[in-house]
């Protein structure tokens, strides 16, 4: 798959700062941004970064990767339920696949997601690691 530079650039707020939205009507935290609150259906365009703390809701270790991700196999992907409520799909990092458990506390870190060949862009974004400290 070719690099989509503009698309990667548009997503910088989400990928680097886990930037979502806060609903001004019902207070719900929203990620990814969708401008309409999934809880109350009202407009919600106020940007709000999320804490990046959460726990593993479910996970899978991938042995057959899609094109672009093969150099990294095996890697573990998870649904992470954030403290504020939204659930995020992301890779886990700094942990062996056998040590991952449902309910494990994790925190967001910035890591390389993939590269687009020798001369292409390197895409960075969020991954989650076992929470350090409390």
Partner 1 sequence: MRDVAIIGIGQTPVDEHWTTGIRHLMLEAGLSALQDAAIETVDAVYVGNMLSGEIAGQSQLGALAVDFMGLGNTEAFKVEAACASGAAALRVGTMAVASGMANLVLALGVEKMTDTGGRETTAALAAAADAEYEAGQGISFVALNALLMQRYMYEYGWKHEDFANFAVTAHANGVNNPNAMFQSRISAEAYARAPMIATPVGLLDASPVCDGAAAVVLAPAEYARALSPAPVKIRASAVGMAPLAVHSRKDPLALEAARTSAHKAYQLANVKPEDLDFFELHDAFTIMAALSLEASGFAERGKGVQLALDGEITLQGRVPIATMGGLKARGHPVGATGIYQVVEAVLQLRGLAGANQLPNARLGMTQNIGGSGATIITHILEGMG
104: closest CA among 126, 132, 84? Answer: 132
Number of residues located near partner 1, criterion CB under 8 A? 36
> Whose Cβ is closer to partner 1: residue 8's or residue 131's?
8
Q: What ranges make up the beta strands (E) of 1-121? A: 19-22, 29-30, 46-49, 53-62, 75-82, 87-92, 105-115
Q: Does 75 bind partner 1 (CB under 8 A)?
A: yes
Q: Does 95 bind partner 1 (CB under 8 A)?
A: no
Out of 11, 36, 95, 109, name the contact with partner 1 by CB under 8 A.
11
Would you report the helix, strand and coil content of the chain in percent, each value rounded to 5?
15, 40, 45
**Residue 31 and residue 25: Cα distance in Å, rounded?**
16
Out of 13, 97, 105, 130, name the contact with partner 1 by CB under 8 A.
97
Residues within the interface to partner 1 (CB under 8 A): 1, 7, 11, 14, 32, 38, 57-70, 72, 75, 77-79, 86-91, 97, 102, 113-114, 125
């Amino acid at each position: 798959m070719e690099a989509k530079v503009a698309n990667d650039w548009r997503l910088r707020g989400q990928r680097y700062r886990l930037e979502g939205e806060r609903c001004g009507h019902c207070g719900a935290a929203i990620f990814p941004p969708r401008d309409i609150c999934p809880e109350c259906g009202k407009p919600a365009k106020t940007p709000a970064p999320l804490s990046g703390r959460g726990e593993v809701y479910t996970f899978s270790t991938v042995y057959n990767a899609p094109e672009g991700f093969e150099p990294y196999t095996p890697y573990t992907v998870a649904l992470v339920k954030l403290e504020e409520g939204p659930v995020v799909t992301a890779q886990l990092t700094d942990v062996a696949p056998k040590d991952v458990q449902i309910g494990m506390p994790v925190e967001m870190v910035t890591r390389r997601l993939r590269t687009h060949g020798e001369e292409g862009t390197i895409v960075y974004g969020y991954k989650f690691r076992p929470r350090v400290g409390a």
